[in-house]
Structure formats: C-alpha cells, structure tokens
Structure 1
Amino acid sequence: MHPNSPAETTRARRPGYIAEIEGVRGLALTLVVLFHLFGQGRVSGGVDVFLLISGFLLTRSMLKRTERPGERFLTAHFGRVLLRLVPAALVVLIFTAVMTLLIAPTTRWVQTGRELIASALYYENWELIGSQLSYGAAGPSTSPLQHFWSLSVQGQFFLVWPFLVLALAVLARRLGGRPATWVGIVTAVATIASFVYAIALTGLDQPVAYFNSFTRFWEIGVGCLLAFVAGRLSLPQVARIVLGWTGLALIVTSGFFIDGAHLFPGVWTLWPIIGVSLVILSSGEPTRVGPDRMLEWAPLRFFARISYPLYLWHWPILIAYLEYRDQSRVGVLGAVVVLTISVTLAWATQKFIAEPALRLRVSWRPRATLLAPAAALLSVVLVVGAGVFTLERAREAELATAAAPSSDHPGARALTETPPPTWDADTPFRPSVDAAFDDLPDLYERGCVQKWRSEPGMDEVLTCEDDSVSSPRRTIVMSGGSHVLHWYPALKAVAEARGWSLVVVDKDGCRLTTRAGGKDGLSESCHSWNDKAIPYLIDLHPDAVFTVATKTPEVEGDVEISYPGQVDAWARLAEGGVPVIAIRDTPRFLGDVPECVEENAADPASCGRDRSDVFLPTSPVRDEPGLSDEVTLLDLTDAFCTQTRCDPIVGNVLAYRDQDHMTATYSATLATALDAALREAAPWLD
C-alpha cells in the first residue's frame, strides 16, 4: 500500500498516535547502528534521541493515568514494558553468552558474565562505570554488551518514573493541587539539576558522565516536559514545516559535526536533543512538504519496526565478527556483512518473538504479563550468576595457591640468580591466564588507594597504613601510581624481613610529579592530588619515598622517557628532608599479555618484545637537569628481560596481568633482587 494513501493516513493518524515519533525513533536507532559500523568511533546522537522519546511517551501516558488507581495500573504498565523489552533482549543475551563461551578468550568470561547479569537487571551502565572504566581495564569497546547501557538508563527510568508520577499525583490531590502541575515542576527542577551535573561531570570525567544515569536524565527529562506541551501548541503549518525539517537536519547531522563519544552528555548534546524536540513540536496534522511525509516512508517504517531488535543485535554481532577475524576495526565490507546479518536477525526476532509476545497481552492477565518475562530474566541471571560464582571461586583458590612459594615457579629468580634455579618443565605456569587479571596486591581490597578518576573528591590524599611491624626501624612510603604499587608484594617482603613499616600514599594513574613539567598527559585531578600529596609526604617525613623513575613505551616506535615534573617533585621532597628511591619502569607490551598468551599457547614467547624496543641503553632520567643527589636510582631491568628479550612468562610465572602491570605472584619473586639492589644503592637504610 502506498504510504500516502487515505487508508494509510488514517492508520497513521489514529487518536494518540504520532507518526513522526515512530519514524524518528526508527531513524535515530538506525543511525546508531550505521555509525557503530561505519563511523570509525563516532556516535550519531541517536541514543540521545531515543532517550528523549522514551521520556516523552511514558510521561504522556502517565499523565493520562494519574486519576486511575495506582496498583492495578502499575501491574499492567510493567507487564507491557517487560513484554515489549524482555523477549528480544533475552534472545540476544543468550546468544552473547554462547558466543562468549565459543570464541571469546577465557580471560573475558567472568566480566562478560557480570555484564550479562547487569544487562538482564538493567544496570549495565553502572557495571561499565564500576568495572570496564576502572584503571587498567580493557575498556567498554571490548564488551559485547556495551550497548545495553542506554537500555539500562531507559529501564531505570521506566521503573522509577511511574511511582514518582503517581506519588506526586496522590500528594497533589490531597493538597488540593493539579497533579500535572506538580509533576511538571518536579520534572523541570530535576531536568535542570541533571543538565548542570552533566556539564560539570563531563568536564571532570567524561567517560563516567557518558554512562551515568543522573547525567543522562536531563535528556529524558526534556522529553517528559515536552509531554506537557506537545499537542497544546497550535503552530501555523509553515512554522511546523520549518521546525520539522530543521529538527530532522539536526538529528541527521549530529554525528557528522560533533564527536559525541568525547563530548556527550554535556552542552553539545543539545544538538540532537533540540533536533528531536523540534520534530515533536512540529508533529500533528499531515503536511504537503513537511518531514512527516519522509518519516512515513515505507523503508523507514520497516527500520522503525525492527529498530529495537536491530539495536540489540548489531553490537554483539560486530564484536563476534571482530573476535572471529582477530581484528580491532571493521572494514567497509565487514560492516556490510555485520549489517546484513543484524537486519536479518532483527527482522526474524521482531516477527517470530517480539510481536507474538506482545499479542499475549490479549489472552494473559496483567499479573501474568509481569511475572512471565520477569521469571525468564531471573532464570538467566541465576544460571549466569552460578557460572560466574564458580569461576570466581576457582580463581580465588588458584591465586591463594600461587601466593605460596614454589620451587617449580622461581619467577624473577630465573634471571637474577647464578646459577639459575631449575624447575619441572611439565608444571603449568602460574597464575593461569584466567586468573592473571585478578592477581593484584591485597592493598586494593582495603579501599585506601585513591581512584584514578577526576570526579569531585578524588584528589583527596588517602593512606594505607602498615601495622605488621610493632616497632619499625624505618618507614618507607610508596607513591607514584600503579607502576609503583605493583612492586608492593616485593617491597612488602623486604620490609617485613628488615623491620620496616611500609605505607602507601597513592592515586592510580597518577605519577608523583609537579606542574613544572608542562604537558605530561596527566589529569587536573592528578595534579591537584599531587599539590596535596607532596606537602603531606614532607610532613609525614618517612625515611624514604619509593617511586617510579621512567615510563616505558606501550606503542611501537615510542621510546622510554622521563618527566621533568617528577624530577622537580623529588627535589621538593629532598628539600624537605625526604630521600627518594626511584626505580626504573617495568616493560609495557603492545596488547593484553594474558590474552596473547592464551591465543599463542604453542609459542607464548611471541607475545614478548625485544629489550631494545622497551628500554634505552641507559635510563633517561639520569640525563634530566636538576636531578637531586638525594635521589637513589634503582634499575632491575635484568629481573624482567634477558640481554635481548622481555618475555611474558619468566621462571614459569606469568609476569603480567594486562598490558603493563605485574602479577602479584611475579612481584613476590622479585623480593630477593629488590633487597640486594636496595642494600647496594641505599645502604643508609640498614
């Protein structure tokens, strides 16, 4: 049937139906998919359109229900929402679980399992903030469930908003006010507060702001406010046509002009938000030359119909394709393949799963439509949760075993002792690639290391106190980022043997430095932390501060470097009577070491790097002007590399937990070499 035939126009303009919104929703989510596949890392702004429309439609519906009894309505409402969202999502979650087991490295199984649970329970955005955005994590781009973050924000809104609206309606009636007025005022205040918070947090920590429910609410809130206005404005047709085309142009061009991946959800998010707002305000009666005609175009209606399952499918299919082809980016041909598969699966999911599920609303009671999908989600959560629990307990048991000394796992001693120790070649290395990422110093479990992020308060100086020695002979402070802290097991063993107190004053991802070095790639939060930490260390007056001296390269072609700001920080400490022990950095690799070792099990040495690609012939910090005589330089490169090669497995121990951090197991094997280096270079500590 022709899209502009009388029958079609009547269908599109049935009471309460806004054809433009359906078209824009399809366009927006299709743009999301196309930009993910062809946009080379840019985002389209379609998710922002999607969030606004969600707020608009739900609030519009809720305003009509505020006079009805709450409990019965809520049961029916949540039943409809779950029947609409859960069946397709459940299929994709099950596919992702199977895909992970079949083709993903085992190193990702636990994290993907956690995200499966988070996606099923609609808190994936917070899971990404808590784990994938943690310091040293691979990043959300590796997750086949990253795209569930926006569905989680929407799901949280769908859960909370009806209760809030109905509560405000009840309160308004009791106080003699109009429910719609109360809801409008609260919505406006919450939207403004969220917008201000989004701007502030985007400036401080944009990756966290991107996934944060509170920074995203303002986009939904604008949609909620539009629900009070749309349909009440009587605009001339010319104005509606101009507004409609302007809004549509803003939506389509957003991804081309704005790097939303690094700017949203701050001020620039207004570009797509204003766009969809103009389209909604211009909607209404059909026009002859307005965008409503295009938005009712049959192909666009098709994509609108499958937009939700298409959004669900495209990302895990893309990740599966990249994993299977062992690629980091998808080319044009690959993108076409992924798009074709995703559209086919989306159509099949919509036709054979989503639409039949929605028809159950006719034959099922409201309570059944609520309980059945909830039970299905809970089943997935329980199964995946049991698997994650089992894997985590196995990791914990393995790491507990790995912490015990073993003659078959000499680690660094294989490079530092003469003659080198021998071990049973048939004994598996430890820790396994599955457990390596969790092989951290135990002090991270104590919550006394400042996080690397830039959110307010994350420049506060925290201290990890050591009470293992009752009357310490010396006090040594470790400070200077994670490449200092991964020495903790080694230095802790030395400290206990020599009767020292070992204290940690640290912020992850933050070198001990001053602003004197100019641009050094560190955040303002890091510099603010250093402004407080250096005077704190001087006041603490330890016998020495143990820190890192250089930075090894993690990109092919770069070289080992030092930072003038660090040398300046050491000079300030020395002036305050605090000696500094600065150790040369450890090797960094070109990718995740455990994953590489798993993929190259027959030849794990291929995951290593030539020593000359990692280290300069001599430490570059020795050539820094102003290097204080109070700084003791240590170099334990020979405890990681032979004269020609830096290998991932040393002395039957997997030495690295990711691209550049030591496993705690390997660090512990460095204690003897570190003790010898300290006795030679810093005899005054005896």
Structure 2
Amino acid sequence: MASSEHPAPAGAGGAAAGAAPVATRASRRSSGSAALREFRPEIQGLRALSVGVVVIYHLWPGALPGGFIGVDVFFVISGFLISGHLLGELRRTGKVAIGSFWARRIRRLLPASLLVLVVTLVATLIWVPLSNRADELVNIGASALYAINWVLANNAVDYLAQNNADSVVQQYWSLAVEEQFYVLWPLLLMGTVLVAGWVLRRRIDADSWKSLRPFVVGVLVLVFAASLIYSIYLTATRPGAAYFNTFVRAWEFAAGGLASVAVMWLADRRKLDRSSRGMRVVSAVVPWVGVALIAVSAYTFSGALPFPGIVAAIPVVGALLVLLVDPPASERFGLRTVSAFWPVKSIGKWSYSIYLWHWPIIVFFPLVFGVGIGIKAGIALGLLSIVVGALSSRFVEDPARYNRWWAAKRIRSYAFALGVPALIVAVIAANMTFIQQSIDEAANQATTQLEQPCYGANGILDQGACPDVFTATEPIDTAYASQDLDPNWCLVQLDNVWRNCTYGDPKGPNGTIAIVGDSHAAAMTPSFDEYFKTQGWRVVTYTRFGCPGLTTVPEQMVGKDAAEQIACTDWTKDVLADIESRDDIDVVAYTDWSRAYFTSDDPGQLQAFRDEIDANWSAVQASGKDVIFVRDVPGNSVGDVPTCLAGITVPAAAPCSNPRQKAIIDDTVLQAVAQNGDIPLVDTSQYFCTDETCMTFVGGVVTYADNNHMSNTYARSIAPHLGRDLTAAIESFGR
C-alpha cells in the first residue's frame, strides 16, 4: 500500500497594517489545514505497526493470522492524509490543482514501485517455472498498469484460478487500489465544488470553506455509506472478489477523509484545551485503544472471517482513534512519544519500500534456494526486508520525491508514469508471444501422436510393449502442460445460471448421452467427444464449476458458502427437471470430483447423503433414462502437477506420483452407486494407476493440468479406452 507523506507546510507571508482583515481571514482559513500539515510522529508509528503485522503475517501466517488488516489501516491513513492535503488546498484557494497533485503522486509512488516491478520481472524470467510463468507475466503486466486488483478479483471467481498460488506481485493489489483512489478522489472533490457552486449560486473561492464543508462532508458520508453497504453485500455473496474490489474498500478511504475534516473542524473551533487534565487523559489513552484494536484484529482475525465487510470496521476504527487525537508532545508514555523513537519512526518512514520489497524477498527465497521458510530464515528475511526498504527509501524514494529537475515540469512525471509501464508491458508481450508459440507447437505435436502405441494412456494399457512409459527421459514442457485444458469448456461459471452444449455426433442416430457433473466432468468431456462422434451418439453436457449435480439440499454442499450452496442446488434442480423432461436423452453419465463432496464424521449424515443422491438417480431412472457413474480421476497430493514436474531432474521414473491407497478411495458418492444397485461403475483408475502407484506422467503426457483436473491431451488419449468401457456399460442395459 502506498505510504502518503505529509504535505509540506505552505509558506505564510506577513501583512501590512492596513491589510489586517485579509490576514485574519487567511489565518482562519489555514488554521485547520495546518493541523494536518503538522508532522505527527504517531502516524509513522501507525505505519510501522501496519507494515509490521503484514510482514509477520506473510512470513508466519499461523502466528498472526489476521495480519492482512494492516492494509486496511494504510487505506485509512491514505484517506486521512490525502483528503487533508486536497481539502487544505481547497480551503486556501477554492480549487484543487489536479494535474500537480497527480504529478506529485507519480514522483512519490512510482519510482520505487516500478523498480521493484522490474526486479520482480527479471527474477520471474529466471526462477519462476514455465508452468507458472505465463500467469505471472500477466500479473506483472497488470501491476504495471495499476489494475492487478481487478485481475485478482476475477481470479477469485474463476474456479480454475482459485487454487493458484499467491502471485509474485500479490502485494501490488493494494497499491493499485490506492492509485485508483488517487485518480478518483480529487475528481470527486472537484465535482463536489462544482455542485456546491451550482447549489449556492456563487463561485467557490478561498472564502467559501464554511459553506462548502457541508457538501464535502455529505459526499464523504455518501461514499462511506454506499461503499460499506456494498462491501457487506459483496463479502457475503462473493467474498473472494470482494477482497480486491476498489469500491468495496472506498469506505475506508472515506473514513480517513471524514477524520481529516473532523480534525480541521476541531482546530478551527479553538475551544479544546489540550493541556487540560481531561484532554491529557483522552490524548494519552485513546490512541493506545486504537493500537489495541489493530493488534487484537491482527491476532484474532483469520481468513475464515467474511472480510472485509463489517468486520473490517474494527481495525478501521482503531486507525481512526489514532488519527483523530492530536496529543501534546510532552506525554511520557504517549503514542506520540513512543513513535518518535528512532526504530519506530524509521520503520514508519521506510514502510512503503518495506512493503514493496518484502513480498518478492519472501516469494523468491524458496524458488532460489529450494527450501522452505523456517523461523531463522523468516527472521533473516524480515530483517533483509527492512534493510532493503531503508536503502530503497534513501536512494530511490527520497531523490525522486525531491528532485528539482523532475518536479520542474509535470510532463516529465507523466512521461515516466506512462513510459516505464509501457516498456514493462512490451517485454512481457514479447515473452508471452514466445511462450504461446511454444504451447501451440506442443499442442499440434500432441494431436499427431495420439494414436502412437505408447503415447498417453495407450502406454499404460500395454506396459509390456512400453517398458518406460512412466519415465521422463527429457525435460517436460510444463508451460504447455499447465495450459492443457479446453479454453472453451462448456461450464456454468460461479456467477452464471445455465449453459449446456452438444458434442459427439450432433445428429445422434444411435442415441444421446448426457454428462452431468462439475469441472472434472468437463475435463473428461473431450474423451466422450472424441469417441462418440465416431459411434453415432450425440453428447450433451450439464456441468457447473464446483457442483456435482447430485443434491438439491443446500446444507449437504459441505464446505461451500451459503450463496454457492443455493446456486449449486438450484442448478441441480433445473438439471434434473430438464433431463427428466427430455425424451431424446437415453443415458446419463455422472462424474465429478466425488471425494470433495459429502464429507462428515456423522454416519447418520453420510447415510442421508447417500439416500438423497440415490433418490435423485432413481428419479432420472424412473423417467426412462439409464444412469452410469464414471469414477473420478485418482486423487493427487503433490500440489500443482506441472509445477511439481518442472522441478524434477531427468531421467526420472514415476515423477510426482501418488500411492494408490491414498489416491483411490471409497467415497460417499461411490457408496451411493452401490446402494442404488442398477448403476454400472466405469473405473478410470486403470488409465492412471498400477497396483501400487497412480501416475502424473504417462507415455510422455502430463495427466493433470493443475492439481486435480485431467489434462485435455490425456483425456483425448483415454478416449478409445474409456469409450469402449462406456459402450459396454450401455450395452448392459440392453440398448
């Protein structure tokens, strides 16, 4: 998150005796804004606390599970300082010099952030495996364009991207939010000035603050209320997307803005005696209460909370309690005194650079050295983040911020803000083009090899003729493997209601088979398509991300939030009704990530799961359709398979494989198959497993495109074998 400096004090000239009334008005106008321009050490202490909890959270999430709230505190600080700066200028001049403001923001924020981004780009090209490199390049490009938060928000509702590891530029999401705030906030204030001038029927000038202030407060309250309501709503319905959404976070900036107006107002009234006993108690205690709220939030919150939503109000209030109280400097144990200590003050000053550098240091350490982060390594990385942050602040932030040549013409700042990101994006585009060409070539090569006797599943089913079918003898193209999923999957997304498609032989002279299930069913669809289009069968799909299509009871979708439970079960009801009403469907093949659903330690609950699944299958059977269940692909415990394979040294026998006893389990859905008694089970384990081991690399093909979905190439390689098994099951019904 961007660290917003205190604006430098404006100069104040003397006045001749005859101009005393004018000087008095100027004095009144500047008194409130001076309260914000005064350097306040406790704000540096607040920054030091915020960056500290974030760094600790990233190093040891279990030690400080709510450390992510440090970002929210920074948002409040930025709203307070930037609003104070803009409003101070507004009350002194009656306008905001937006162009100059943006140029100062560029000089303050972008030199350090773009330097870290360039270093991260180079490190990505050197150390990030090919299996993840394309995604990371996209993220770096989005960071350069100040839009990474929207990419991450989209990934949060993209089922396939939900299990992705944190990006190497994950920390830039909050910078993007702040940069968007810096663009929109002065425009909002100037819009307020225009509206106020229209309503008041007067030109807003340096003497208009008293009349203008209610409009400013009204707009800030409106932004605060609308954003908070939206935050609560989106956090409840789409929590992943809500976390990175700029409009969900706007209320935190507005809260800081309202605090800045309050501080100005209090300073203008000149009725508070800060030296009185009561005020000394307030100024000594209240900021520490704010610090306590932030600390308790960092220690007690976790990723299981619906965040941000209303829960974020606790650390936000904590930050406001620090910002609203302007204590005297004479307090011995006050927050201002503690914040003035060199270590606290320095970390606060360096907080922006520390935040920028700590994440790539943490992320690339395991990639470079091949080891995890323990206590000793974590302490070393934390100290290194502080040292590098201090150097970056001293030799990058400060020179760029105060350089007279750069500040002389705004065009230089704007050229930098546009030119360097453009260069970064150009480098990324060149690398993405190279990667995509390699992927396209690999895809074409895979298509030509599908019928080779030892390629893919052909090899595992004829191990006698293919003795090295599980051995990687040369480096694996993991860039292709990580992208080896059908980009046009016919899947209902998390935020959609209905979609189905037709595969196989569109005319279907011999019949129609429907596929029902989740994304694992969609990953298996190429097998159905490849085989049945040569057999005169039409294939129709009913597939939805994260939804097995087996239950109409929301509570039985264990592990899903309320919105997902309802969306999934409503879709399942529609699927059942559609299938039962269609006379053209002959066979319904169910398949899904069955081990991921219907889990419980209660035997009675498990039986309820089986009964409801069986009842839904029985309803389909009663409508004249035959039902088949295709066993899911074996489970995988090695994480993202292409990434795992990217780290092997060839030759490697059975790399990244899994013990069969863990990969093949008798889950609740399979038990429901047995309970029904009239549903053939088509077992896919023979295409992946020996008697003891289930493979992730078979016959030169990576079997999984991520940590659980079968790759498109492998699905096509099993097509003739799975097709024959499906045909046998269909023939068992007498069709």
TM beyond 0.5? yes
CA distance, structure 2, for counterparts of residue 658 and residue 412 of structure 1: 18
Q: CA separation of 1:127/1:649 partners in 2, compared to 1, >3 Å: closer, same or farther?
A: same
Please report the TM-score for the alignment, with normalisation by the length of structure 1.
0.88
Q: CA separation of 1:131/1:420 partners in 2, compared to 1, >3 Å: closer, same or farther?
A: farther
Q: 1:35 is matched with which residue: 32, 44, 57?
A: 57
CA distance, structure 1, for counterparts of residue 593 and residue 264 of structure 2: 64
Post-superposition offset of 1:619: 7.9
Q: 1:669 is matched with which residue: 714, 717, 728?
A: 717
* 1:442-453 equivalence runs, <5 A: 442-444=487-489, 448-452=490-494
Post-superposition offset of 1:203: 2.3
Gaps spanning 5+ residues in structure 2: where?
1-33, 202-210, 273-278
* 1:622-637 equivalence runs, <5 A: 623-624=671-672, 627-637=675-685
| Aligned residue in 2 for 1:497 | 534
| Aligned residue in 1 for 2:559 | 521
CA distance, structure 2, for counterparts of residue 361 and residue 631 of structure 1: 79
Task: Answer yes or no: is 1:606 the counterpart of 2:655.
Answer: yes
* 1:645-664 equivalence runs, <5 A: 645-664=693-712
Confirm or deny: 8 A CA contact 2:491 2:522 kept in the other structure. Answer: no
Confirm or deny: 8 A CA contact 1:410 1:421 kept in the other structure. Answer: no
| Aligned residue in 2 for 1:366 | 410
Post-superposition offset of 1:406: 4.1
| Aligned residue in 2 for 1:151 | 175
Confirm or deny: 8 A CA contact 1:48 1:272 kept in the other structure. Answer: yes
SS in 1 for 2:513: strand
CA distance, structure 1, for counterparts of residue 501 and residue 91 of structure 2: 56
| Aligned residue in 2 for 1:273 | 316
Confirm or deny: 8 A CA contact 1:107 1:594 kept in the other structure. Answer: yes
SS in 2 for 1:631: coil
CA distance, structure 1, for counterparts of residue 55 and residue 179 of structure 2: 20
Confirm or deny: 8 A CA contact 1:474 1:685 kept in the other structure. Answer: no
* 1:326-475 equivalence runs, <5 A: 326-327=370-371, 330-361=373-404, 364-408=408-452, 410-416=455-461, 420=465, 432-444=477-489, 448-452=490-494, 457-458=495-496, 460-466=497-503, 469-470=506-507, 472-475=509-512
CA distance, structure 1, for counterparts of residue 674 and residue 697 of structure 2: 38
Post-superposition offset of 1:242: 2.8
CA distance, structure 1, for counterparts of residue 164 and residue 219 of structure 2: 34
Amino acid at match of 2:662: D
Q: CA separation of 1:512/1:347 partners in 2, compared to 1, >3 Å: closer, same or farther?
A: same
Post-superposition offset of 1:632: 2.9
Task: Answer yes or no: is 1:286 the counterpart of 2:334.
Answer: no
| Aligned residue in 2 for 1:218 | 251
| Aligned residue in 1 for 2:242 | 209
* Larger displacement relative to structure 2 (561-570 or 225-234): 561-570
Post-superposition offset of 1:76: 1.2
| Aligned residue in 1 for 2:14 | none
Larger Rg: 2
SS in 2 for 1:167: helix
SS in 2 for 1:356: helix
| Aligned residue in 2 for 1:53 | 77
* Larger displacement relative to structure 2 (464-473 or 75-84): 464-473
* Larger displacement relative to structure 2 (258-267 or 305-314): 258-267
Post-superposition offset of 1:537: 3.0
CA distance, structure 1, for counterparts of residue 624 and residue 475 of structure 2: 42
List per-residue Cα deviations over 1:443-500 (Å, max 9, x = no partner).
Answer: 32xxx52224xxxx54x22223459624654222222111111111110112211222
CA distance, structure 1, for counterparts of residue 128 and residue 635 of structure 2: 23
Confirm or deny: 8 A CA contact 1:80 1:361 kept in the other structure. Answer: no
Q: CA separation of 1:170/1:518 partners in 2, compared to 1, >3 Å: closer, same or farther?
A: closer
Q: How many residues align?
A: 660
| Aligned residue in 1 for 2:124 | 100
CA distance, structure 2, for counterparts of residue 642 and residue 49 of structure 1: 54
CA distance, structure 1, for counterparts of residue 227 and residue 280 of structure 2: 34
Cα RMSD of the aligned pairs, angstroms, is 3.2
CA distance, structure 2, for counterparts of residue 426 and residue 268 of structure 1: 51
Confirm or deny: 8 A CA contact 1:611 1:645 kept in the other structure. Answer: yes
Post-superposition offset of 1:77: 1.1
CA distance, structure 2, for counterparts of residue 427 and residue 575 of structure 1: 49
| Aligned residue in 2 for 1:82 | 106
Task: Answer yes or no: is 1:535 the counterpart of 2:577.
Answer: yes
Amino acid at match of 1:116: I
Q: CA separation of 1:396/1:169 partners in 2, compared to 1, >3 Å: closer, same or farther?
A: farther
Q: CA separation of 1:596/1:38 partners in 2, compared to 1, >3 Å: closer, same or farther?
A: closer
Confirm or deny: 8 A CA contact 1:546 1:582 kept in the other structure. Answer: yes
Q: 2:198 is matched with which residue: 146, 152, 174?
A: 174
Confirm or deny: 8 A CA contact 1:28 1:47 kept in the other structure. Answer: yes
CA distance, structure 1, for counterparts of residue 505 and residue 400 of structure 2: 61
Amino acid at match of 2:146: Y
How much identity, in percent, do the aligned residues show? 27
Task: Answer yes or no: is 1:161 the counterpart of 2:161.
Answer: no
Gaps spanning 5+ residues in structure 1: where?
1-11
CA distance, structure 1, for counterparts of residue 191 and residue 708 of structure 2: 52
Task: Answer yes or no: is 1:510 the counterpart of 2:559.
Answer: no
Q: CA separation of 1:418/1:33 partners in 2, compared to 1, >3 Å: closer, same or farther?
A: closer
| Aligned residue in 2 for 1:488 | 525
List per-residue Cα deviations over 1:638-680 (Å, max 9, x = no partner).
Answer: 1222223222221222211112211111100111112211221
